[in-house]
Amino acid sequence: MRTILSTMLSLSLLLFMSCGQGQKEEKKDGFQYEQAPEKEAPASDKAEDGIVITGNDMMQYNTKEIRVKAGTTVTLTLKHIGKLDKQVMGHNWVLLKQGADLIGFASQASSAQESDYIPEGTEDVIAHTKMLGGGQTDTITFEAPAPGTYQFLCSFPGHFAQMQGTFIVEE
Ligand code: ZN
């Protein structure tokens, strides 16, 4: 009887010990899980991903609307994916200030061939790319203007009717 009793005692002692060990391990695991999220710090959302717009030989942009967040630096790339020369099918991307007259600006620009169809000394423009021919690309960087809706266009003569859209700055 004594032997059995002592065996049972040592068995329960073993069980108790292993239970204790199990708890220790759980605690350890818990500690590790708590640490994990700190390593995956969310990337800063201040940096705006680059915007890519294309223009083609059909006198079209691939988008009519662009959205950015206020307070960000905008990186915008215009790609002329056509084949025609800049003299025939030139494309640029011009962002106008709020309240600027798009048609008035476009007609002024159409006679500004020497300055790449951007009227010299204009106060209507926030940012613009170079005038491109087929296969060319230009990237510009500018600070997003105040929240609101703006207009963009291609200022090559006659293109604005088809090549224009809205640029929305969200708060
Ligand atoms: Zn154009």
Domains of the chain and any CATH numbers: 45-170 (2.60.40.420)
Cα(146) to ligand 1 centroid in Å equals 27
Cα(59) to ligand 1 centroid in Å equals 6
Residue 72, pLDDT > 90, answer: yes
Q: For 10-17, what is the mean pLDDT?
A: 48
Band of residue 49 on the pLDDT scale cut at 50, 70, 90: low
pTM of the model: 0.72
Residue 18, pLDDT > 70, answer: no
What does the pLDDT read at residue 2? 53
Cα(147) to ligand 1 centroid in Å equals 27
Band of residue 111 on the pLDDT scale cut at 50, 70, 90: very high
84 SS3 class: coil
| pLDDT, tens digit, 9 for 90 and up, residues 91-110 | 999 999 999 999 999 999 99
Neighbour count for residue 137 (Cβ, 10 Å): 14
Q: Is 152 within 8 Å of 66 (Cβ atoms)?
A: yes
Cα(144) to ligand 1 centroid in Å equals 23
Task: Please name the residues in contact with 148: beta carbons below 8 A apart, sequence gap of 6 or more.
Answer: 98, 168, 169
3-state helix/strand/coil string of 31-71: HHHHHHHHHCCCCCCCCCCCEEEEECCCCCECCCEEEEECC
| Beta-carbon neighbours within 5 Å of ion ligand 1 | 91, 154, 156, 159
